[in-house]
Amino acid sequence: MAKARDLYIRDTRASVAQNLEEAGLLVQRVYLVDKNALVKVVKGTRRRSHECIDEEDLLRDLFALADSNGGSQAVEDAS
């Protein structure tokens, strides 16, 4: 199962990078997230880190962005 997961992650990241390049867009961070795993991370009920791919990184980066923008600016930018 870990092998399939690693293949999924590698192939998805490569596909996104290729699509961004073909569209003439800059390379950027892409988060692979499962809704159920994200809910567990937010609620603090996640038991095993192998359930997550980028959920924890996404939340960390969102909080850092909100903090660097004074909190309210990030919400305004999302609108």
- Segment 16-22 shows an average pLDDT of 96
Asked if residue 78 and residue 65 are part of one domain, the reply reads: yes
Q: Say whether both 22 and 39 belong to one domain.
A: no
For residue range 36-62, what is the model confidence (pLDDT) as tens digits? 989 988 888 876 667 789 999 999 999
For 11, the domain range is 1-29
CA-CA distance, 63 to 10, in Å (whole number)? 26
44 and 77 share a domain?
yes
pTM: 0.71
Is 18 found in the same domain as 45?
Answer: no
Same domain, yes or no: 36 and 72: yes
Q: Are residues 25 and 47 in the same domain?
A: no
The reply to whether 3 and 19 lie within a common domain is yes
Q: How many domains does the chain have?
A: 2
